[in-house]
């Protein structure tokens, strides 16, 4: 199925669904997952320096033969790198590992102290067209307000944990108001917390002859989020994009809205002990 594009605030198009590769580090697994995804019609890949797989993602992209301009590659700046020059250096290393000469989207991975200087370096790289869109990840409203008050460019994307058990309703509203695209990581609840066995979701899935994973991804898309489900299995990689041929009704969207428990499955961006 064809994956629609969304338009970021600077006019850059971004596929609304891509492949996440967190925790995928074995060479065959990275290369197969990226290959199967590209074969299935994915064009966006979400990696990070921290994932330790940029070089393998780069090899898989190079081997695919798909024109660079058809791909959308995201990577992220890790927490241990802060400072203007250090950020530019880390960005260049990411590009080298990916065998690319520009990135489509570069994100500050977590709001670790010093993110303002890193952002200023990213603004410069954006001005030089080395990055086509810049954004943040795991930034809460407080971090976004702080960053926006000190820098020139508003982030185009905030990639944050989001799924039916952790819907981020306040942040979602704030992002919409500021034209910052909401990108969901852990869109399937990271396969944890019983999300994929939820009875409400199971019933909705039956009604549409879809899987719970597909219903969850469809819910994200109808909320106007960008999603990056991760899988290393060919059948699931294919399954996860078969979501553009059905629609959840208003009533179904409301039922899913009601199962929010506001519980994270991943790390808390306010866990400063871990962040520094």
Among 57, 175, 189, 225, binds ligand NAD (CB under 6 A): 189
If the CB atoms of residues 23 and 85 are measured against ligand NAD, the closer one turns out to be 23
Q: How far apart are CA 112 and CA 9, in angstroms?
A: 25
269 near ligand NAD, rule: CB under 6 A: no
Sheet with 181-185, side-by-side order of all strands: 19-20, 44-46, 72-77, 105-108, 134-137, 157-161, 181-185, 226-227
Closest CA to 81 of 57, 59, 55, 48: 48
Strands (E), 118-237: 134-137, 157-161, 181-185, 226-227
Toward ligand NAD, which CB reaches closer, 11 or 61?
61
Residue 12 token pair: 């850059």
Q: Which residue is nearest to ligand NAD (CB)?
A: 20
Footprint on residues 17-36 left by ligand NAD (CB under 6 A): 20-22
Q: Which of 17, 175, 196, 215 binds ligand NAD (CB under 6 A)?
A: 196
- In angstroms, the CA 222 to CA 200 distance is 17
Q: Shortest distance, CB of residue 211 to ligand NAD, whole angstroms?
A: 6
**In 3-state terms, what secondary structure has residue 161?**
strand
CB-neighbour burial class of residue 200 (10 A; exposed 0-12, middle 13-18, buried 19+): middle
- The DSSP bridge partners found for residue 134 are 106
CA–CA dist 166, 74 (Å, integer)? 23
Helix, strand, coil fractions of the chain, as percent rounded to 5: 45, 15, 40
Among 58, 111, 155, 187, binds ligand NAD (CB under 6 A): 187
Closest approach of Cβ 131 to ligand NAD, in Å? 17
Stretches 16-24, 35-43, 149-157, 174-182: which one binds ligand NAD (CB under 6 A)? Answer: 16-24
- Decide if residue 164 touches ligand NAD (CB under 6 A): no
Catalytic residue list contains 42: no
> Which tokens in the block code for residue 100?
């690319």
Q: How far is the CB of 243 from ligand NAD (least distance, A)?
A: 10
- The answer to whether 135 contacts ligand NAD (rule: CB under 6 A) is no
Of 33-41, 112-120, 125-133, 232-240, the segment contacting ligand NAD by CB under 6 A is: 232-240
- Shortest separation between residue 30's beta carbon and ligand NAD, angstroms: 11
How many Cα atoms within 13 Å fall on the side-chain side of residue 57? Answer: 30
What minimum distance in Å lies between the beta carbon of 236 and ligand NAD?
Answer: 4
The alpha carbon of residue 149 and the mean position of all alpha carbons in its chain are separated, in whole angstroms, by 24
Of residues 133, 240, 248, 252, which one binds ligand NAD by CB under 6 A? Answer: 240
Contacts with ligand NAD, residue ranges (CB under 6 A): 20-22, 46, 109, 137-138, 159, 185-191, 196, 213, 228-231, 236, 239-240, 266
Q: Which active-site residues does the annotation give? A: 51
């Amino acid at each position: 199925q064809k994956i629609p594009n969304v338009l970021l605030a600077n006019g850059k198009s971004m596929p609304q669904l891509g492949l996440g590769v967190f925790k995928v580090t074995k060479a065959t697994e990275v290369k197969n997952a990226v290959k199967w995804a590209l074969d299935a019609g994915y064009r966006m890949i979400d990696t990070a320096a921290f994932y330790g797989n940029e070089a393998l993602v780069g090899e898989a992209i190079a081997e695919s033969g798909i024109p660079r301009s058809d791909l959308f590659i995201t990577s992220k700046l890790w927490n241990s790198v802060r400072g203007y020059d250090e950020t530019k250096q880390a960005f260049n290393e990411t590009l080298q590992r990916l065998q690319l000469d520009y990135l489509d989207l570069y994100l500050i991975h977590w709001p670790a102290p010093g993110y303002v200087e890193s952002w200023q370096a990213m603004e410069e790289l954006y001005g030089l067209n080395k990055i086509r869109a810049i954004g943040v990840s795991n930034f809460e409203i407080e971090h976004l307000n702080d960053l926006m008050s000190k820098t020139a460019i508003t982030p185009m994307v905030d990639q944050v944990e989001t799924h039916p058990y952790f819907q981020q309703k306040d942040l979602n509203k704030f992002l919409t108001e500021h034209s910052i695209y909401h990108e969901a990581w852990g869109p399937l609840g990271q396969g944890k917390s019983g999300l994929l066995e939820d009875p409400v979701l199971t019933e909705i899935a039956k009604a549409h002859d879809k899987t719970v994973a597909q219903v969850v991804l469809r819910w994200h898309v109808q909320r106007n989020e960008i999603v990056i489900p991760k899988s290393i299995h060919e059948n699931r990689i294919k399954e996860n994009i078969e979501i553009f041929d059905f629609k959840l009704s208003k009533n179904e969207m409301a039922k899913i809205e009601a199962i929010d428990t506001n519980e994270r499955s991943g790390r808390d961006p306010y866990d400063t002990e871990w962040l520094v």
